[in-house]
């Protein structure tokens, strides 16, 4: 079936980087964009940006510009999101989602990232 | 603070009808489609309504969406215990060239 499976939970120290993967199956990976959305504990959803899985073009939220990098490996049907210079406020569940604009029809299960010294 | 405004909470008894509102400016809801997501605790959001008022396959027709001007609403009729969840609206923002989510509404079934 169509699904996105994300990598496991991570614990990082402040200032470090984290890279989360999102493996697609059940559909033509290059045909759809992959978006990244995060959710801090008890908070709403926050859009981080997206990558065109076909040509690799990206668009990042201004909030994360300069600190986030989204890439993809079409041979592995996998998208990646790397966030640098982590701080405690980045502790959240990070989701990948397939879609266009605000239309996200398939979501990954989420990856918990904890930033703590 | 989310730029799409939702009430933080809503409630209703089983069988009743509840509505959840979502408001935003012309560059957001006014010029773009609205989407609704349902999130159960500890799980990923699930698409509930797309392009203002369409239901994906498998979503019961108890759920309906509407949009007027710069506001949108999600209506749930025949409320059931399994409807208890957090609900989020979302829309594209032309001025930011990005996606905005509402602050979320926690629905309690009394």
Residue range A47-81, pLDDT digits in tens = 999 999 999 999 999 999 999 999 999 999 999 99
Could you tell me which of B108, B97, B110, B101 has the C-alpha nearest to residue B37?
Answer: B101
pLDDT at B2 over 90: no
Residue among B45, B47, B99 whose CB faces A101 most closely: B99
pLDDT grade for B27, boundaries at 50, 70 and 90: confident
| Least confident residue range of A38-47, B13-22, B29-38 | B29-38
Share of chain B above pLDDT 70, in %: 98
A47 HSE (CA, 13 A, CB side): 33
Question: What is the distance between the alpha carbons of residues B86 and A39, in angstroms, rounded to a whole number?
Answer: 13
- pLDDT of A52 reads 96
Residue A59, C-beta contacts closer than 8 angstroms, at least 6 positions apart? A49, A50, B97, B98
Gap between the Cα atoms of A93 and A41, Å rounded: 8
How confident is the prediction for chain A on average, in pLDDT? 97
Per CB-CB distance under 8 Å, the chain B contacts of A44 are 2, 88, 101-104
- Smallest CA-to-CA distance from B38 within B108, B106, B85 is with B85
Q: What are the distances in angstroms from CA B93 to CA A86, B99, B110?
A: 27, 6, 35
Residues of A with CB under 8 A from a CB of B: 35, 37, 44-47, 49, 59, 61-62, 95, 101-105, 107-110
**Which residue, among B46, B47, B26, B48, has the nearest Cα to B92 in the 3D structure?**
B26
pLDDT at residue B24, as a whole number: 86
What is the reported pLDDT for A95?
A: 98
Instruction: Please report which helix (H) or strand (E) contains residue A2, including its range.
Output: none
User: What integer best gives the mean pLDDT of chain B?
Assistant: 94
Assign A31 to helix, strand or coil. helix
């Amino acid at each position: 079936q169509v699904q996105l499976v994300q990598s496991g939970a991570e614990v990082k120290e402040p200032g470090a980087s984290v890279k989360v993967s999102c493996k697609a199956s059940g559909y033509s990976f290059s045909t759809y964009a992959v978006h990244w959305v995060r959710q801090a504990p008890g908070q709403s959803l926050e859009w981080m940006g997206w990558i065109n899985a076909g040509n690799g073009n990206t668009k990042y939220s201004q909030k994360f510009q300069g600190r986030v990098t989204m890439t993809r490996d079409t041979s592995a049907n996998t998208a990646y999101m790397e966030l640098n210079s982590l701080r405690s406020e980045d502790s959240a569940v990070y989701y990948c989602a397939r879609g266009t604009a605000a239309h996200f029809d398939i979501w990954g299960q989420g990856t918990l990232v904890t930033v703590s010294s | 603070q989310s730029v799409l405004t939702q009430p933080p909470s809503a409630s209703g008894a089983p069988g009743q009808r509840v509505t959840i509102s979502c408001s935003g400016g012309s560059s957001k809801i006014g010029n773009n489609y609205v989407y609704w997501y349902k999130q159960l605790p500890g799980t990923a959001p699930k698409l509930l309504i797309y392009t203002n008022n369409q239901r994906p396959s498998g979503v019961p027709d108890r759920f309906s969406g509407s949009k007027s001007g710069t506001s949108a609403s999600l209506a749930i009729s025949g409320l059931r215990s399994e409807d208890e969840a957090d609900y989020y609206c979302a829309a594209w923002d032309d001025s930011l060239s990005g996606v905005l989510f509402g602050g979320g509404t926690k629905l309690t079934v009394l």
